[in-house]
Amino acid sequence: MTNSSELSPVELTEHIQDLQARLAFQEDALQVMSEQMALQAQELQMVREQMQVLNKKLNDLFYQMEQRAEAPPIERPPHY
């Protein structure tokens, strides 16, 4: 690459325009990524909440199964 002092005014203008275009592209890409990260953070929070609900349901189910296992089995009366 040539030194900026060696560039003609036209070349310098083109160089500045190229840099401005690159900056605009990077700013746009950064904005898109920022929006995506915000959406993913919301989705992650929803998934965490759903996992908590499912974990509670699973724990309740295990508790119910333990209670049934500890209960004496229902036996037939002797007259059957």
Report pLDDT digits (tens) over 8-54: 999 999 999 999 999 999 999 999 999 999 999 999 999 999 999 99
> For 35-44, how does the pLDDT look when each residue is reduced to its tens digit (9 = 90+)?
999 999 999 9
Q: Is the pTM of this model over 0.75?
A: no
Q: Report d(CA 56, CA 13) in Å as an integer.
A: 64
Enumerate long-range contacts of 12-18, CB under 8 Å, 24 or more apart: none
Backbone torsion region of residue 67, taken as left when φ is above 0, otherwise alpha when ψ lies between -120 and 50, otherwise beta: alpha
Q: Does 56 score more than 60 pLDDT?
A: yes
Residue 27's CB is within 10 A of a number of other CB atoms, namely: 10
Interacting residues of 7 by C-beta distance below 8 A, sequence separation 6+: 15
Q: Report d(CA 55, CA 57) in Å as an integer.
A: 5
